């Protein structure tokens, strides 16, 4: 049987798989997907723009530097537009004909279009409505109208669109007019070899029960509510410590909040942790936290990688009851859910978790088993392949275009 070939594209200049990359989540997602395709027997040919960029674009603090002022953001927008045009052609020249091209969407980027024009199915993955998110939540772009036009056009033009959650799919269908039947839902997953509790070194940050968080320190992560809850529960005699791994625009404010609420001695900000050390961090905490709050768009459309990483490391979780958490967390067996808008429910979940300390080991074992059997990247990619094949076979036209191109290529090489 002929080995299938996949072109994997990522055009975002700040998304990199290099060791110094600041953006952990995208790096984990890219490496997880590529690794899973290879395990399933595909020849994967990656073209990752961030791996080709200067260190200043991808290293710690790069997002804040590029978002510092209006003119800096405008200049960065123009650079990304120019890079998109250049890299679209470079990707084709370097990768050439493949069976499919799979692209992780980035603002102003649509590299897969060069492949689609040559008859190769273009599968586009989106992790959010970036034209909205970059402007309203992160304030990292200026040319928002241009970004919106290019993003919506890419969603409409690709052969298959991959969304990570149902809320995101609903936003894309509503805002971009994309037919629901060309969309595949593929939540985030986890590398269960990299995140393995057997690799924990047995050390701890605190002697008291410890919550842990890994990720960007952005307002929608809701850590201000968690810090406040830890402080208020302390007054009740319920003692939690908190370890926070990551950087972002809210770090100073949250550090100040911990000081003001009198819990700075039990809230540890690690800052940016090297990507390969994240499992060790999680090995030193007891319970993972994933407590996103509603975004300005009115919902939460993310699929938190951290949720799956906590489970894979054998940690129960306390999580806001959004789609992914409701689908993944079994209350009282692998974790605790609370209403995203309710401080009272968050504290109630933390009280229950604290009372169940003797059950954490058994809960963690169940969490690990669930992650291993249901949420690994190979499981995700196997589902993706089946759904893409179903959509492409129904459309028919993509297959015929590819056959025509293959015939043309074979004739040209004679």
Indicate the SS3 state at residue 21. coil
CA distances from 9 to 22, 47, 125, 128 (A): 19, 5, 10, 17
Q: Given this model, what pLDDT does residue 199 score?
A: 86
Predicted TM-score (pTM) of the model is: 0.88
Residue 375 confidence class, pLDDT cut points 50, 70, 90: very high
Place of tokens 């003692």: 239
Indicate the SS3 state at residue 406. helix
C-alpha triplet 340, 341, 346: angle, nearest 5° = 65
Average pLDDT over residues 109-113: 90
What CA–CA distance (Å, rounded) separates 196 from 313? 5
Residue 177 confidence class, pLDDT cut points 50, 70, 90: very high
Concatenated DSSP letters of 315-342: --EEEE-SHHHHHH--BTTTEEEE-TT-
Closest CA to 23 of 121, 82, 106: 106
State the number of CA atoms in the 13 A half-sphere of 140 facing the CB. 20
For 68, other C-beta atoms within 10 Å of its C-beta total 11
Provide the H-helix boundaries in 122-260.
Answer: 130-132, 144-157, 166-176, 223-235, 251-260
What CA–CA distance (Å, rounded) separates 64 from 56? 11
288, 257 contact by CB (below 8 A): no
Burial class (CB in 10 A: 0-12, 13-18, 19+), 200: middle
Closest CA to 340 of 298, 310, 394: 298
Integer Rg of the chain from CA: 22
What CA–CA distance (Å, rounded) separates 110 from 178? 16
Domain spanning 5-189+376-408, CATH architecture: 3-Layer(aba) Sandwich (3.40)
Q: Given this model, what pLDDT does residue 361 score?
A: 96
For 145, other C-beta atoms within 10 Å of its C-beta total 10
What phi and psi values does residue 290 have, to the nearest 5 degrees? -140, 90
Topology of the domain covering 197-373:
Rossmann fold (3.40.50)
Q: Does residue 93 have a pLDDT over 50? A: yes
Q: Does residue 41 have a pLDDT over 70? A: yes
Average pLDDT over residues 34-46: 97
Token pair for 68: 């510092």
Contacts of 55 (CB under 8 A, 6+ apart): 20
Place of tokens 């300390």: 357
Q: Does residue 56 have a pLDDT over 50? A: yes
Q: Does residue 345 have a pLDDT over 80? A: yes
Cα 269 to its chain centre, rounded Å, is: 21
Greater pLDDT, 195 or 143? 195
First to last CA, the chain: 24
Token pair for 9: 């594209």
Average pLDDT over residues 184-199: 95
Q: Given this model, what pLDDT does residue 77 score?
A: 80
Average pLDDT over residues 394-402: 55
Enumerate the CATH 3.40.50.2000 domain ranges in the chain, comma separated.
5-189+376-408, 197-373
Place of tokens 């067996």: 333
């Amino acid at each position: 049987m002929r080995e299938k070939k996949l072109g994997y594209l990522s055009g975002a200049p700040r998304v990199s798989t290099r060791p110094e990359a600041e953006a952990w989540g995208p790096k984990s997602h890219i490496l997880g997907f590529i690794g899973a395709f290879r395990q399933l027997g595909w020849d994967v040919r990656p073209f990752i723009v961030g791996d080709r960029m200067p260190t200043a674009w991808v290293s710690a603090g790069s997002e804040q530097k590029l978002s510092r002022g209006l003119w800096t953001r405008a200049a960065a927008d123009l650079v990304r537009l120019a890079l998109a045009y250049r890299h679209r052609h470079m990707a084709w020249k370097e990768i050439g004909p493949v069976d499919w091209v799979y692209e992780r969407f980035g603002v102003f980027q649509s590299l897969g279009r060069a492949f689609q024009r040559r008859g190769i199915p273009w599968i586009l993955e989106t992790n959010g409505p970036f034209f909205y998110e970059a402007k309203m939540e992160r304030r990292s772009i200026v040319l928002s109208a241009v970004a919106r036009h290019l993003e919506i056009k890419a969603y409409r033009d690709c052969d298959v669109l991959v969304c990570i959650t149902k809320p995101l799919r609903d936003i894309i269908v509503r805002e971009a007019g994309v037919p629901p039947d060309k969309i595949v839902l593929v939540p985030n997953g986890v590398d269960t070899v990299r995140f393995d509790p057997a690799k924990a070194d047995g050390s701890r940050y605190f002697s008291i029960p410890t919550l842990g968080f890994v990720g960007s320190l952005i307002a929608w992560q809701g850590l201000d509510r968690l810090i406040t809850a830890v402080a208020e529960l302390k007054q009740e005699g319920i003692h939690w410590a908190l370890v926070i791994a990551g950087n972002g625009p809210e770090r100073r404010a949250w550090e100040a909040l911990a000081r003001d609420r009198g819990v700075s001695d039990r809230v540890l900000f690690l800052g940016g942790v090297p990507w390969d050390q994240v499992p060790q961090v999680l090995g030193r905490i007891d319970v993972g936290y994933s407590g996103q709050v509603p975004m300005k768009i009115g919902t939460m459309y993310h699929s938190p990688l951290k949720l799956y990483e906590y489970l894979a490391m054998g940690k129960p979780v306390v999580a806001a009851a959004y789609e992914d958490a409701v689908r993944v967390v079994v209350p009282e067996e692998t974790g605790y859910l609370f209403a995203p808008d309710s401080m009272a429910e968050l504290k109630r979940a933390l009280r229950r978790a604290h009372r169940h300390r003797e059950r954490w080991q058994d809960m963690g074992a169940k969490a690990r088993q669930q992650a291993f059997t249901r949420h690994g990247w190979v499981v995700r990619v196997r589902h993706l392949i089946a759904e893409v094949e179903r959509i492409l076979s129904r459309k028919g036209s993509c297959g015929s275009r590819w056959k025509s191109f293959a015939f043309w290529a074979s004739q040209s090489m004679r």
